[in-house]
Amino acid sequence: MSTAHVLLGVLAGGPAHGYDLKREHDARLPGAKPLAYGQVYATLARLERDGQVEVAATEGGSGPERTVYAISEVGEEVLLDWLATPEQPGPYAAEELVRKTVTALRLHRDARPFLAAQRALHLERMRALVAEQRAAPDVEARIALDHTIVHLDADLRWLDDAAARVADEGNALR
Amino acid sequence: MTSTDGSGATALLRAHALHKSFGRTEALRGASVEVAAGEVVALTGPSGSGKSTLLLCLAGVLRPEAGSVAYDGSRLDDLPEATRTRLRRREFGLVLQFGQLVPELSAVQNVMVPLLLERHGRAAARTAALAWLDRLGAAGLADALPGDLSGGESQRVAMARALVTGPSVVFADEPTGSLDRVSGEDVMEVLVSTAQSTGAAVVLVTHDNRVAAYADREVVLRDGAVDDPAVVR
Amino acid sequence: MTTLALVLLRRGGRLRPVVVAATTAVVTSLVLVVVAVLMLPADPDELLFNVVQEPGLRYGTVLGMSLLVVPLLLLLHQALRLGNASRQRRLAGLRIAGVTAREARLLGAGEVAVPALVGSLLGIVGFGVLRSVLGGGADGGPSLVVGDYGYSVALVPTSVTPTWWMVTSVVAGVTALGVLLGLRTGSGVSDPPHGVSRRSAARAPRPWGACVLVALVLLTVPAAVVPPVAYALFVDGFGTLALVAVTVLAFVSTGPWAAHLAGRVAQDRASTVPVLLAARRLVVDPRPAGRAGAAVGGVGLVAGGVGVLLGDVVGSGGADFFFVFSYVLVALGLLVTLLLVSLTLAVHSVETLTDRRRSMASLHALGVPATDVRRSQQWEGYLVAVPMSLVGTLLGAWTVGGTAVVDPAAGPAPLVLTLACVVLTPVLAACAVRLAVALTGPVARRVVDPEHLRTA
């Protein structure tokens, strides 16, 4: 899980408190699942334990007390290390889509209505993402959305191929 | 998304039960589709499913053997060739995947062609063509020959040519098919946003889901008809 | 390799080999006739029409016959360009499949050599036919009876026969010429093993030919005033020959420049699609139409000159059979040339239209009527042929007649006949263009077929 690294990346730009970190994380990765507050603080606690972040200040005021974190030298090293290391290309777990389709086909049920409905839903999501991308203010946001769109596109192509194979099979049986 | 019909009463373009063959190949077998004014519709489906044929029938370029195509409430498929040609140049614009620009004509001259046909006069046609090239971000290409343009630039010029007469419908057959993803996105952005701002409907043939996602609605074709998974074939 | 060559020959379409064979056949026949005429002794053992019979006139006849070869070569050159684009793709594909550049060149040459050789051999047969139809003989061969007199109109000597080595060299020469032209037009085919590369406009043609023509006209001014110069240039055999050769070369190189100029002038004024398309085609690729225009200009040149001479003859009351039939022969030659030019234009149109079928079909889909495509071909022809023929005719009339045309002493005949030529030649040139467009009608209709819009 690289949430820690993304947060380190945000902190590398300057000290911030938990709420800012969450907002910046979500803004940097549109189309991904928003970060939960609990996760932000858990991660920060772990980073602090490992000496990668330090408490820079504690802001008081009218509201609750807020801790401002900054990246440490160790943290910077860890961050640069992470940026320089390529990721494993897979394997990825079979998705619910695949499980459902294969199960349906094994039971000799017609998978096409499911595939078509799924395609419509996927395209709907794609449309929303493309709209979001068209409205995106900067190139970083568009790039982040590209990743989600391309993966969604892979699913869509898989759905198309599956539908074509099921149709071919149906034609062959007739 | 339902695939067969738009909002029936206000359909600008309506194809009903089209059949069209090329030699022994049956490209269309009873395809029906409706397009509302200002709507962006994507025709998708596997290769050979009849998408391009349906597009060309809707655009009044091809004539279906059976079925009907109506534009703005009146049939266009049974009009004589000359009348359809005039209708096409006033009401429709067409963008293809590649190779549509006349190689001898400069970019601006290519865009002037539909205006000259409507007898706008040279100077007026040139001014309007330049304005459209400018609007599509291709002002600097006005005097370039198509052979010197990149794929994305050619498509911008082709779109300017399709939009210059202020058509009600722009037909685009794989407009991004020869482009990389980023240039393709660029072309789609320009096409859809310009069409939206002029109120033109767009009928789009594509096999790229990302391009299809620019449309308001998708119509999936399979074996020459609109795919309806509820019907077991 | 041979099998591959034969497959390519069959795949390349029928029109190209047919036109190549036909033109080389006619060229071979013509050259053989010229050879036979040159072999004639001063006093031939047969009766022929005067222009062949009399040694003094023979060289002019040979010159005229040789000039007829020029439009034939233009047609051959144009035919060789037929299907160049698809042949380039085919050979590029072969290069990718492992054919070497040298083999690709050989295959390209083979595609021309076979029909050119077949044509040249057929040319021998053609020569035989000409001999039997237009051959002289003791009785004078074919003759025309005018009044009480019969005149021989035989043009092909039969008392002399080209030897086997002459015939062989003519056949070899014509075939080699075909192959050379083929290699020239097909150059680049064997170069890089890629698909179609980007193409931008070629360099604009230069006006050198036009400069030479202007110089020639200026030269005629002293000639008109000083008789010895006129004699040296226009009456003396050598001077005439040199003058004709320079003029032909000047015209051939003026054609593309004039076509380019006509295109530039027209494109800035074009307010209709056909004119714009025609003008741009001329600007981007002025050479094919320009060469045809040069031939038309040549026709005009001869027509203008002959018009003046005819006016002279009619004016002086010396119009006997010899003169009339000579002029009929010249007129026939000019008409044949115009016909060949329209065939050249037609072949060129077929080529450009097929090359551009996708953009033409998309123009049609955009709302350009199919008739506009044909009208653009007509304009392309008119824009070059009409001015070139007009300039040619005026130039011819001026060179031969000078100010004598308007000499009141000669009566109205010279002026009327000259003016008739000046008007008639451009009209005939325009007719040739129309004929060319009519010949390619089916192609023009086919290129706008929406079939070409499909991507597959």
Is C53 a residue whose pLDDT tops 60?
A: yes
Between 3.40.50.2020, 3.90.280.10, 3.40.50.300, 3.40.50.460, what CATH number should domain B8-226 receive?
3.40.50.300
Q: Which of B52, B79, B85, B88 to mutate to test the interface with C (most CBs of C within 10 A)?
A: B85
CB-based contact A8:A78 (threshold 8 Å): yes
pLDDT at C413: 74
Taking the domains of chain B in order of start, what are their residue ranges?
Answer: 8-226
Q: State mean pLDDT over C43-67.
A: 82
Q: Which of C200, C370, C455 sits opposite B147 (nearest CB)?
A: C200
pLDDT in tens, C235-284: 556 666 677 778 778 888 888 999 999 999 998 888 899 999 999 989 98
pLDDT at A174: 47
User: Using CB atoms, which chains have 3+ pairs under 8 A with A?
Assistant: B
**Residue C203: inside a domain:** no
Chains B and C touch (3+ CB pairs under 8 A): yes
Instruction: Give the gyration radius of chain A's Cα atoms.
Output: 22
pLDDT at B8: 46
pLDDT in tens, A103-140: 777 777 777 777 888 888 888 889 999 998 888 878 88
Closest approach of A145 to chain B, Cα-based (Å):
12
Alpha carbon separation from C139 to C49, C130, C132, C135 (Å, rounded): 12, 17, 13, 10
**Confidence label for C197 from pLDDT (cuts 50, 70 and 90):** very low
Asked if B96 and C453 come within 8 Å (Cβ–Cβ), the reply is: yes
pLDDT in tens, C293-344: 888 888 888 888 888 777 777 777 766 777 778 888 888 888 888 888 888 8
A:B CB pairs within 8 Å = 40
Q: Which has the higher per-residue pLDDT, C195 or C398?
A: C398
Chains C and A touch (3+ CB pairs under 8 A): no
Mean per-residue pLDDT over chain C, rounded? 81
Residues of chain A found within 8 Å of residue B189, distances taken between Cβ atoms: 134
C174 and C214 co-located in one domain: no
Is C25 a residue whose pLDDT tops 90?
A: yes
Residues of chain B found within 8 Å of residue A129, distances taken between Cβ atoms: 213
CA distance C350 to C374: 11
CA distance B135 to B128: 10
Q: Is the peptide bond before A34 cis (omega within 30 degrees of 0)?
A: no
Residues of chain B found within 8 Å of residue C455, distances taken between Cβ atoms: 52, 96-97, 173-174, 177
Q: State mean pLDDT over C117-145.
A: 87
DSSP secondary structure string for all residues of C240-257:
HHHHHHHHHHHHHHHHHH
Cβ neighbours for B9, distance < 8 A, ≥ 6 positions apart: none
Q: Across the strands, what pairs with B43? A: B205, B219
Number of residues written out for chain B: 233
Residues of chain B found within 8 Å of residue A156, distances taken between Cβ atoms: 209
pLDDT at B5: 43
Q: State mean pLDDT over C82-97.
A: 72
Q: Which of B53, B56, B82 sits opposite C369 (nearest CB)?
A: B82
CB-based contact A75:A8 (threshold 8 Å): yes
In B98-157, the residues whose Cβ lies within 8 Å of chain C are 99-106, 109, 112-114, 116-117, 119, 121-122, 125, 145, 147-148
Going by the DSSP 8-state scheme, the letter that residue C47 receives in this structure is: -
CA angle in degrees (0–180, nearest 5) for A160-A165-A166:
100
Cβ neighbours for C380, distance < 8 A, ≥ 6 positions apart: C277, C278, C281, C282, C289, C349
C119 and C164 co-located in one domain: yes
CA atoms within 13 A on the CB side of C12: 30
CA distance B38 to B87: 18
Asked if C195 reaches chain B (Cβ–Cβ under 8 Å), the answer is: no
pLDDT in tens, C395-442: 888 777 766 666 666 677 778 888 888 899 999 999 989 988 888 888
Structure tokens at B178: 């020869």
Mean pLDDT of successive 10-residue stretches along chain B, which has 233 residues: 46 92 88 93 89 91 91 89 86 86 88 86 91 90 90 91 92 88 86 91 92 91 78 43
Closest by CA to C422, choosing from C387, C449, C370, C446, is: C387
Taking the domains of chain A in order of start, what are their residue ranges?
Answer: 3-84, 96-173
User: Using CB atoms, which chains have 3+ pairs under 8 A with C?
Assistant: B
C398 and C339 co-located in one domain: yes
**Residue C197: inside a domain:** no
pLDDT at B157: 93
pLDDT at B6: 42
pLDDT at C430: 92
SS3 A53: strand
Closest by CA to B198, choosing from B139, B135, B153, is: B135
Residues of chain A found within 8 Å of residue B214, distances taken between Cβ atoms: 127, 130
Residue with tokens 């779109």: B159
Residues of chain A found within 8 Å of residue B227, distances taken between Cβ atoms: 116
Residues of chain B found within 8 Å of residue C200, distances taken between Cβ atoms: 145, 147-148
Asked if A112 reaches chain B (Cβ–Cβ under 8 Å), the answer is: yes
For strands B40-44 and B201-205, give the pairing: parallel
C53 and C128 co-located in one domain: yes
pLDDT at C44: 83
B:C CB pairs within 8 Å = 108
pLDDT at C193: 40
Percent pLDDT > 90 in chain A is: 13
Residue with tokens 């429709």: B92
| Number of domains chain C is built from | 2
C47 and C137 co-located in one domain: yes
C28 and C153 co-located in one domain: yes
**Residue C284: inside a domain:** yes
Going by the DSSP 8-state scheme, the letter that residue C232 receives in this structure is: I
pLDDT at C186: 62
CB-based contact B134:B212 (threshold 8 Å): no
CA distance C70 to C413: 32
C132 and C42 co-located in one domain: yes
C247 and C134 co-located in one domain: no
Q: Across the strands, what pairs with C355? A: none
Asked if B61 and C450 come within 8 Å (Cβ–Cβ), the reply is: yes
Q: Residue A110's closest chain B neighbor by CA?
A: B232
Asked if A123 reaches chain B (Cβ–Cβ under 8 Å), the answer is: yes
Structure tokens at C368: 């350009």
pLDDT at A162: 85
Asked if A167 and B229 come within 8 Å (Cβ–Cβ), the reply is: no
pLDDT at A83: 80
ipTM, 2 dp: 0.78
pLDDT at A69: 92
Residues of chain C found within 8 Å of residue B61, distances taken between Cβ atoms: 364-365, 450, 453
**Residue C296: inside a domain:** yes
Q: Which of B85, B100, B177 sits opposite C358 (nearest CB)?
A: B100
* From A159-168, B224-233, C77-86, the region with the lowest mean pLDDT: B224-233
pLDDT at B233: 39
Structural domain harbouring C9:
2-185
Does CATH place domain A3-84 in 1.10.10.10? yes
Is C199 a residue whose pLDDT tops 50?
A: no
Closest approach of A32 to chain B, Cα-based (Å):
18
